Amino acid sequence: MSDVVLGIETSCDETSAAVLVRDGTGPELASLVILSQDVHAVFGGVVPELASRAHLQAIGPVVDRALAEAGVRLDAVDAVAVTAGPGLIGSLLVGVCYAKALAAAGGKTLIGVHHLEGHVFAPTLEDPDLAPPFVALIASGGHTLLLDVPEWGIYRMLGETRDDAAGEAFDKVASMLELGYPGGPAIERLAKQGTDRIDLPRPMLGQGFDFSFSGLKTAVLHKVRGTSDLEAERADMAASFQAAVFDVLTAKAAAALEHTGYDTVVLGGGVACSRTLASVMTDRLQGLARVAVANPRLNADNAAMIARAGWFHLERGEQSDLYLDAQARLPWPGLERAPDFSPSRG
Ligand code: KG4
Ligand code: ZN
């Protein structure tokens, strides 16, 4: 049994470590340290080579700081949970090698975690009673997934994006609007000053559970090119684009709830950092379902969610050996197509 789990996350541009300790029967978050790399802002996106170098410099101090904040010595750590994928291979390798070294040198249990499973577990850190069955909508910079989660460890894919991820669309539209990187928070901020008055498509609305954001992004590009005064229209474009994305996410989540008969939807991934999304979703699902969403710190990439997903697997008696490898396209254990999946539904 693991009573103290150290989590490590380095899949993209955040170097993060967290400590979970047993409190009664369940895990409690004792510390969480997230170091966001700022080297990428000037390039308008994450530069993989720079990300791995920055992880290499930061990983030791970030882990030490997480242990210190938790008041836990390294030799009291029972297990190390680390993101094994998916993500940037050079970045993942830093975390995986560090975790393996800690496990090998200190005789600790090692568990490799799928990054997206971490996102599904994030809200349970604040709401320990949250449990399946539920619908999960995971929207990040790399993925947009709608899942039927009948129990922990089983993830039935209802739908996914056919092109851009929702967060990626936010980042690209932010770049068109000259708002910098990352785009999501900048668009959310600016949208508060604008109105949803620009006519934009709601791609694949009413057409199954899959998503598509590439056409919407192009539609915004045409509006940007077509305006003679971007300065005056920027906030309305941000508000209209955000409304279009959230309309689609909300409608598909509602359809998935109807399809499964569940009464809870879990939002996760970087896009779920948006308070606007949480409130739009809560409003539209009023009386139908409860919306479970963690605070933004736990929805952005962080090691607490990785430690929590690792905790679940450790409790089931699972562990990784020292051959654990980082994989840029790691298959998700437990992910399956819904048996009754049909593209015409939803
Ligand atoms: O999960 P995450 O931190 O990293 C990945 O695993 O991809 O997600 C990052 C994504 C970025 O595309 C970012 O623009 C988006 O989440 N994001 C948001 C907001 N905050 C972050 N999108 C919309 N509104 C936000 N407030
Ligand atoms: Zn993520």
What residues pair up with 81 in beta bridges, in sequence order?
A: 7, 111
Per residue in 203-248, pLDDT (tens digit) is 999 999 999 999 999 999 999 999 999 999 999 999 999 999 999 9
If you measure from the C-alpha of residue 334 to the centroid of ligand 1, how many angstroms do you get, rounded to a whole number? 24
Decide whether any atom of ligand 1 lies within 6 Å of the 12 Cβ.
yes
- Would the pLDDT of 44 be above 80? no
User: How far apart (Å, rounded) are the C-alpha atoms in residues 60 and 222?
Assistant: 47
Omega before 182 within 30 of 0, i.e. cis: yes
Atom of ligand 1 nearest to the CA of 115: 6
Q: How far apart are CA 261 and CA 234, in angstroms?
A: 40
Residue 342 reports pLDDT greater than 70: no
Report which ligand 1 atom has the smallest distance to the Cα of 269. Answer: 1
Sheet holding 26-36, edge to edge: 26-36, 14-23, 4-9, 79-85, 109-114
> Considering only CA atoms, which residue is closest to atom 19 of ligand 1?
184
The rounded percent of the chain whose pLDDT value lies above 90 is 91
Domains and CATH numbers, the chain: 4-122+299-336 (3.30.420.40), 131-293 (3.30.420.40)
SS3 readout for 174-198: HHHCCCCCCHHHHHHHHHCCCCCCC
Closest listed ligand to the CA of 186: 1
Ligand 1 site, residue 164, Cβ cutoff 6 A:
no
- Note the pLDDT tens digit of each residue in 114-127: 999 999 999 999 99
- Report whether 16 contacts 62 (CB < 8 A): yes
What single string gives the DSSP state of each residue in 86-99?
A: SS-HHHHHHHHHHH
Whether 158 and 209 have beta carbons less than 8 Å apart is answered as: yes
Per-residue pLDDT reduced to its tens digit, 267-313 = 999 999 999 999 999 999 999 999 999 999 999 999 999 999 999 99
37 CA to centre of ligand 1 in angstroms: 15
- Checking if the pLDDT of 79 tops 60, the result is yes
Which ligand is the nearest neighbour of the Cα of 174?
1
Protein residue with least CA distance to atom 7, ligand 1: 141
- Ligand 1 nearest-atom number relative to CA 275: 26
